[in-house]
């Protein structure tokens, strides 16, 4: 936790973003939030339908 003496500024936001690359970081006046990473979903290989060979 970091406690400031007033509202954070853009320089503070950029400093926090530099400490957490790849994470979503937001600034709302006196609060900087570092959001948890989005869950990684397993990528499924595309399913190919077999052609009907019974004409």
Does residue 49 belong to any structural domain of this protein? no
Does residue 53 belong to any structural domain of this protein? no
State the pLDDT at residue 45.
56
State the pLDDT at residue 1.
60
Which residues lie below 8 Å from residue 24, measured CB to CB, with a gap of 6+? 34, 35
Does residue 5 belong to any structural domain of this protein? yes
Long-range contacts of 2-11 (CB under 8 A, 24+ apart): 2/32, 4/30, 6/30, 8/32
State the pLDDT at residue 37.
86
State the pLDDT at residue 17.
94
State the pLDDT at residue 44.
55
pLDDT in tens, the chain (55 residues): 666 677 888 999 999 999 999 899 999 888 899 999 877 765 555 555 555 555 5
Q: How many domains is the chain built from? A: 1
- Note down the domain range covering 25: 1-36
State the pLDDT at residue 49.
54
Does residue 24 belong to any structural domain of this protein? yes
């Amino acid at each position: 936790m970091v406690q400031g003496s007033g509202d954070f500024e853009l320089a503070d936001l950029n400093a926090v973003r530099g400490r957490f690359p790849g994470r979503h970081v937001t600034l709302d006046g006196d609060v900087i939030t570092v959001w948890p990473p989005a869950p990684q979903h397993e990528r499924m290989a595309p399913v190919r339908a077999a052609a009907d060979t019974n004409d």
